[in-house]
Structure 1
Amino acid sequence: MQQLLAPIEQFLACSTPDSWIEKAKQPQNLTTLLIDHCNCELKAAQTAMFLVRKYAVDKASAEQLLLWAKPYEDFVYKKERDIERFLNRDVKKNDLIGELTCRTDFAQGQDLVNKMVRLIKEEFHHFEQVLAIMHSRGIDYENRRAGRYAKGMMKQVRTYEPAALIDKLIVGAFIEARSCERFAKLAPHLDDELNRFYVSLLRSEARHYQDYLALASDIAQDDISARVADFAATEAALISSEDSDFQFHSGAPIA
């Protein structure tokens, strides 16, 4: 595990505050944590899908991606909340049926599609896993709005292309890296089921951060270290400073 986490700890400019871990491990906060985690998994899949649809594929393929996401979005936004039916639907529930056609005007389109489709599939699966754990514990799903962390990171994204895409990919890398770091720190303080589950997520989250960063570097075709350092400083400030809300990516709880 330490070998897996070492690059992430080097990438992030700060560690999760001990005060956040102390609050997160309290039994009365577990419901909030699981609901927000479930939301985060869906948002991660949606973000990756947006990047593929906007930048990499033709119109027909973009529509195909929306069909893939439809059961998840119906569950969340249309509130079709029959969990048993949702979790036990067709065996191909988490597969993108057919191939996507990349646009010809984006050189890195196929690489972005390959990396993001795998990420989407894994995040949808993680969403279902968290949802199943919640269901077994009598916790109902709730929609959650983006918190200070996500908004603070996205404020730094440039508004012109390809800089906007590069920045969005860097933001994705930090979100995935922070998730991985928090899973590792929190797992020892949770019950056996959640401990095993969070540890099982580490490898995929670590790869997601690497995929995002590799894509950003390839698309920039230049050194992105200065831009990564800017986002690292922003991310560390959001994580280290006091936060009135408690979420999976929130900052230090107000004393």
Structure 2
Amino acid sequence: MGKLIENYYLEPTKVKWLLSRTNDQWLKMAIANPIEVLVDHAHCERKAAGAAVQLMFRYLCEPGLAEVLSPLVREELEHFERVLNLLISRGEYLKPLPAPPYGALLAKAIRKDEPYRMLDSFLISGLIEARSHERMSLLAMHSPDPELSCLYSDLLESEARHFGIYWQLASERFNKETILLRIKDLAKIESGILAELHPEPRMHS
């Protein structure tokens, strides 16, 4: 397990396409409030499943989409159940939490017209998975709670794979230059949103 140090940027937490790294203030706050982060994490898994279902219904007739997203939805719900069961085992429960504006602000960047709406939806979902991967890697390395460290370590592979799924969905439908130009724009927006947010014990704040 990693030790919390002043400059953990020397450790392997950089994730491709993210233009900024999570700061020490967020990490210290998350470690100091593990239950609140767990509750928020459960909500994030639930929302990730819901977002994928929404894409399946919006693009119901898109060849190959449902076949890829349906297993992803199941896996997100399995993660939700794992986090929920961990909360219950600690005498805690799922409760409403004020959501940081991260997701809502990112959603505003989605263009309204097709096919750009589809592309932006895939890429933003991928960026959220990438940010989740980065933050879970930090918690896996630095959490003083072995059970939580194990949880976050176990979820890293799937978070990275989920980014890859959304990237694949985009790559099968749009040319590489279009994708690269757009993800760079969206990554700037994502980084700017986090720079303006006051850190809270949330997965995305």
**Residues 15-45 of structure 1: per-residue CA shift (max 9 Å, x gap):** 111110011111xx11210110000000000
Residue pair 1:37, 1:248 contacting (<8 A) in 2 also: yes
Give 1:123-142 correspondences, 5 Å limit. 123-142=76-95
**Partner secondary structure for residue 172 of structure 2:** helix
Cα contact 2:26–2:200 (8 A) shared by 1: no
Q: TM-score, normalised by structure 1?
A: 0.71
2:5 matched residue in structure 1: none
Residue of structure 2 equivalent to 1:31: 35
**Corresponding residue for 2:55?**
51
Say if 1:8 and 1:177, in contact at 8 Å, map to a contact too: no
Which deviates more from structure 2 when the two are superposed, residues 220-229 or residues 204-213? 220-229
Runs of 4+ in 1 over 4 A off after TM superposition: 5-8
Residue 244 of structure 1, CA deviation: 6.3
Larger radius of gyration: 1
Question: Which position in structure 2 is the counterpart of 1:198?
Answer: 152
Query: Per-residue deviation at 1:207?
Result: 0.5
Please tell me whether residue 9 in structure 1 is matched to residue 22 in structure 2. Answer: no
Identity of aligned residues (%): 35
| Distance in 2 (alpha carbons) for counterparts of 1:247 and 1:196 | 19
Q: CA deviation at 1:10?
A: 2.5
Map 1:1-255 → 2, pairs under 5 A: 9-26=15-32, 29-56=33-60, 103=61, 106=62, 109-110=63-64, 112-144=65-97, 146-190=99-143, 191-223=145-177, 224-243=179-198, 245-250=200-205
- Distance change (3 Å), C-alpha of 1:202 and 1:138: same
User: Structure 2 length as normaliser, TM-score?
Assistant: 0.88
Which amino acid in 2 is paired with 1:216? A
RMSD of equivalent CA atoms: 1.9
Contact 2:30 2:200 in 1 (8 A): no
Asked whether the 8 Å contact 1:17–1:239 carries over to 2, the reply is no
Unpaired runs of at least 5, structure 1: 57-102, 251-255
Structure 2 residue runs without a partner (length 5+): 1-10
Shift of 1:234: 0.8
Change (3 A) 1:185 1:7: closer
Sort the Cα spacing of 1:199 and 1:145 in 2 relative to 1 into closer, same or farther, 3 A. same
Within 2, Cα distance between the matches of 1:12 and 1:147?
19
C-alpha displacement of 1:140:
1.5
TM-superposed CA distance for 1:217, in Å, is 2.4
Aligned length: 193
On the 8 A contact 1:158/1:164 being kept in 2, the answer is yes
**How far did residue 9 of structure 1 move?**
1.6
Once the 2 structures are TM-superposed, how far is the Cα of residue 7 of structure 1 from its aligned partner?
10
One-letter identity of the residue aligned with 2:52: A
Distance in structure 2 (CA, Å) of the matches to 1:188 and 1:245: 19
CA shift, 1:150, in A, is: 0.3
Measure the CA separation in 1 of the matches of 2:37 and 2:90. Answer: 13
8 Å CA contact retained: 2:19, 2:187: yes
Does 1 or 2 have the higher relative contact order (CA < 8 Å, sep 6+)?
2
